Amino acid sequence: MHTAYLVVTSIAIAFDGFSGGAALAHFAPILPGMASAGVPVSWLRFPIGTLKTFGTLGLIAGLWIPAVGIAAAAGLVLFFVCAVYTHVLAHDITGQMYFGGFMLSLNCAALAVAIMANPGLL
């Protein structure tokens, strides 16, 4: 289980890190999707980019402090539930919403393997 935890968490770290960095840097390809979902550009730095980046840092810290990793994964799951919900409410059924769904699934998997790899924490 520990190997699966490391693999899934490493993939989540890579994707969440890129996603957070893209939001903080106002990466041009994400701007139209955010606009069509009704998300103001001013929200890209805070709260969106900041929360994704802190979640990524929490996943990294969780490799040594499992409780932090579980909390970070749970926070990222909540974040992406809200992100997908925002796109659905805006009737923005585009690739960006599907990517949010992928990120939600990836972070659910990271949360599940973190809990299974550290059963004594819950």
- Residue 1: is its pLDDT beyond 90? no
Q: What range defines the domain where residue 102 resides?
A: 2-121
- Residue 27: is its pLDDT beyond 90? yes
Question: In this predicted model, what pLDDT tens digit does every residue of 60-74 receive, in sequence order?
Answer: 999 999 999 999 999
Average pLDDT, the chain: 96
Q: What is the DSSP string of 73-103?
A: HHHHHHHHHHHHHHHHHTT--SHHHHHHHHH
Question: Angle at the Cα of 101 (from 78 to 53), degrees rounded to 5?
Answer: 55
Do the Cβ atoms of 118 and 84 come closer than 8 Å?
A: no
Q: Look at residue 25 in the predicted model and tell me its pLDDT.
A: 97
Q: Look at residue 122 in the predicted model and tell me its pLDDT.
A: 81
Question: In this predicted model, what pLDDT tens digit does every residue of 71-111 receive, in sequence order?
Answer: 999 999 999 999 999 999 999 999 999 999 999 999 999 99
Total domains in the fold of the chain:
1
